[in-house]
Amino acid sequence: MSFPSGFLWGGATAANQVEGGWNEGGRGPALTDVTTGGSVKEPRYETYIDKDGKPGKKLQKQPLPDGAHYAVLDGYHYPNHEAVDFYHHYKEDIALFAEMGFKTYRMSISWSRLYPKGIEKEPNKEGVEFYRNVFMELKKYNIEPLVTIWHFDTPLYLEEHEGGWLNRDLIEYYVRFATTCFTEYNGLVKYWLTFNEINNTVMFLDMFGNKATDEDYQNAYQILHHQFVASAKAVQIGHAVNPDYMIGCMICGITRYPATCDPNDILANRYGWEKGIFYCGDVQAKGYYGTYAKRLWDEHNVHLNITEEDLVDLERGTVDMYTFSYYMSSLETTHEVKDKVSGNFVAGARNEYLTYSDWGWALDPKGLRYYLEVIYDRYELPLMVVENGLGAYDKVEEDGSIHDEYRIDYYRQHIIEMNKAIEHGVDLIGYTTWGCIDLVSAGTGEMRKRYGFIYVDMDDEGKGSMARSRKDSFYWYKKVIASNGADLD
């Protein structure tokens, strides 16, 4: 078994989950900076001060009470403030990535590090220089950066004072930010992703039961439309700056299966793919809304504000590659669900043919092959798996070693399935495992949900030395890369 030559092996992170330095170097706050830590059972909260000056907290996605403003409060731990301090450790971390033989490193740029409020006309120079230094360091080791422009971190000011992505003006602010990235790092970066897991906005509305209202859908689809236009404008600008740029979409790739052969389940599954997966991929890769979009909007009385100019932008700003995250599959059914799975980011029927992670995520390597083959057939664009990984509890032995054979096994199975997809004709060009270094979980805010090949001594309460160490999987992945995927033992 081997992979195409030049295959981009590597790992992935996101700024808010690794970087820390939340109030250093002129950076402005993002929503994650007022978000507390949680667990698989305890949700994360966003903290604020209400109109009477009283501190309070609310669930993510719930609106701020009238007159309240977001605030960092005493007595709470905000794990993203320090994260794993990549801000100060990036040289050490990149050296470790290089030791594993990484060909690429997927990372994101914190929007509020470049534009602290998001509305400034000129970027924050210190922020621009920070990323330039990171890219130079990667270049030293011939590691190709793969840069996500937006990874869940709109500047807090835009969320609080501009109404977030529901406001059309965000398109302009984002385009300014993206243009800065394209021009400042021209010559240092070739691969770009416009929005991380763009489809979450709608997909997660459905995942947690039927509680979402028509208004929620109206807002979610309008937000998505603004992001599609922002992405399409960015793609056009990126290509004008450098025609060699490879710019991709990034979709949360959950493979769906019908739970039974009841035709109602089969249809529900097809419609689930359309709504959860194809809706965004079609607009970004084909340049227009699929025929089923009207049905989806009508289901919830959605009326979108779409201009003629938007449609032209969507058509002109299609992506060069399709990238996605893959962690799990899920079951679609119209029947009552007796055996439910629930974890962060997942809810639904349990698949009796699969096993589940400690956080309730279905472990399904074949689902990755299925996804790759379906998507390649649909778009015939180069594909990249830009997130795949196992969040697990790791035990540090007395001698400091960490025997994470469960993680090795997870990766081995997924790599075998990727290889089969390639043999079946899929043009897969890269694979970046999620959380190549331990980081703060996006869903739960935990550190104990570890993904890395590299262990970071930091716990859920923010205690630890930040020392880095190599897990068994570190040595294993090094061998995999050195053999271009031939040696998986």
The nearest distance, CB 438 to ligand BG6, in angstroms, is 11
387 is catalytic: yes
275 binds ligand BG6 (CB under 6 A): no
| Contact set for ligand BG6, span 385-414 (CB under 6 A) | 387, 391
Within positions 197 to 256, which residues make up the interface with ligand BG6, using CB under 6 A? 197, 252
**With CB under 6 A as the contact rule, which of the stretches 69-77, 92-100, 139-147, 440-448 interacts with ligand BG6?**
440-448
According to CB under 6 A, which one of 40, 223, 251, 442 is a site residue for ligand BG6?
A: 442
Among 78, 157, 410, 434, binds ligand BG6 (CB under 6 A): 434
Residue with tokens 């599954």: 269
Q: Taking the complex as a whole, how short is the minimal distance between the CB of residue 13 and ligand BG6, in angstroms?
A: 9
Contact region with ligand BG6 (CB under 6 A), list: 44-52, 212-220, 310-318, 438-446: 438-446
Whichever of 254 and 319 has its CB closer to ligand BG6, that residue is 254
| Catalytic entry in 159, 184, 387, 446 | 387
In this complex, which beta carbon is closest to ligand BG6, that of residue 17 or of residue 219? 17
Mask for 149-188, x = binds ligand BG6 (CB under 6 A): ----------------------------------------
Q: How far is the CB of 271 from ligand BG6 (least distance, A)?
A: 23
Residue 28 or 253 having the CB closest to ligand BG6? 253
Q: From the candidates 184, 197, 332, 446, which is the catalytic residue?
A: 197
Give residue number: closest CB to ligand BG6.
443
Among 441, 447, 452, 471, binds ligand BG6 (CB under 6 A): 441
Count of chain residues binding ligand BG6 (CB under 6 A): 16
Which contacts of 38-47 are long-range, i.e. CB under 8 A and separated by 24 or more positions? Answer: 38/444, 38/445, 38/446, 39/444, 39/446, 39/460, 40/343, 40/344, 40/358, 40/359, 40/360, 40/444, 40/446, 40/449, 44/443, 44/444, 44/445, 46/70, 47/71, 47/72, 47/73, 47/76
* Least Å from the CB of residue 19 to ligand BG6: 13
d(CA 274, CA 281): 10
Q: Is 367 in the site for ligand BG6 (CB under 6 A)?
A: no
| Binding segment toward ligand BG6, per CB under 6 A, in 40-48, 124-132, 296-304, 436-444 | 436-444
Query: Min. distance of Cβ 361 from ligand BG6 in angstroms?
Result: 8
Burial string for 195-207 (b: 16+ CB within 10 Å, else e) reads bbbbbbbbbbbbe
Using CA atoms, how far residue 478 sits from 92, 109, 321, 472, in Å, is 17, 26, 26, 10
Q: Least distance (Å) from ligand BG6 to the CB of residue 345?
A: 6
Work out how close the CB of 449 gets to ligand BG6 at its nearest, in angstroms, rounded to a whole number.
5
Annotated catalytic residue 162: no
Which sequence positions are flagged as catalytic? 197, 387
